Chains A and B, each alone.
Chain A
Amino acid sequence: MARSVWKGPFVDGYMLAKAETSRASGRNEIIKIWSRRSTILPQFVGLTFGVYNGKKFLPVQVSENMVGHKFGEFSPTRTFTGHSADKKAKRG
């Protein structure tokens, strides 16, 4: 069953304050979090979180398209270290 709308999106409360702190500092920082269950809110856009996957903190650069998803979706706990061949990476 989907979460009731009247409750609003779930997010661990301390993250809002830390996101504000990081945004106010304006520095190139990674916010390390363990809360994979928290929903990505619009105020997180542009920040970089290090989301724990049980072993490592994987950097998650929050963009507008990610709003409404959970942090854990972008930090898989099972890693495919597969073949890349001609795959390219764009520097953000």
Chain B
Amino acid sequence: MGVIGRPHGVRGHVRVTAYTAEPRALADYPLTDQTGRRLQLRWVSGDVAEISELTADGARKINDRDAAARLTNTELFAPRSALPPAEEDEFYLADLMGMSAFDAAQKPLGTVSNIHDYGAGTSLEISRDAAAPVIVPFTRQAVPHIDLAARSIIVALPGEIIVENTGDAA
């Protein structure tokens, strides 16, 4: 969900890079580090935050620069269950990644290896073992069925119209 960066000042504040869609929302998630240590984050200003370690005794605030420096490069995680439920026809990229893709005849196509979205609709890249990856638009026509429980999708590969570049201009 994010990464703790370098210390900021002498009061134990740190810079934090948030990978959430809304950076400020990072503080709303129950965060842990790689070792499972529970951390709490409170934004101070901009990308500067105050970190507290949650223990059975309560919250222990990181309040000196040396302790903050030891947190540098700590990755922050949140459990999947902490994410709000997606709306209809909306899917978390984390759920789509790694799904098995099958064609309409249930023949295996490959695995969803990347998701592209550059402002012109989302598309799924499906990597195949013995062939070049195929990229399909993430639409109802091209991906008619998604089974989150089975982690599989049905793909109707769209036809292709290949246009050779003849250099004509209008």
Contacts and interface: CB of A to CB of B under 8 A. Distances in A.
Given A12-B169, A83-B19, A84-B19, A89 B159 contact: no
B90 interface: yes
B160 interface: yes
B35 interface: no
Size bin of chain B's contact surface: 35 or more
Interface string B113-149: 0111111111101000000010111111111001000
A85 B1 contact: yes
Interface in A1-51: 8, 10-16, 18, 21-22, 27-35, 48, 50
16 contacts: A12-B167, A18-B163, A29-B158, A29-B161, A32-B161, A33-B163, A59-B116, A59-B123, A60-B120, A61-B139, A75-B118, A84-B94, A84-B115, A85-B20, A86-B21, A88-B92
Nearest to B84: A86
B86 interface: yes
A90 B123 CA distance: 10
Interface of B: 1-2, 18-21, 25, 83, 86, 89-94, 96, 114-123, 125, 133, 135-143, 146, 156, 158-170
Interface of A: 8, 10-16, 18, 21-22, 27-35, 48, 50, 56-63, 66, 73-76, 79, 81-92
A61 B168 contact: no
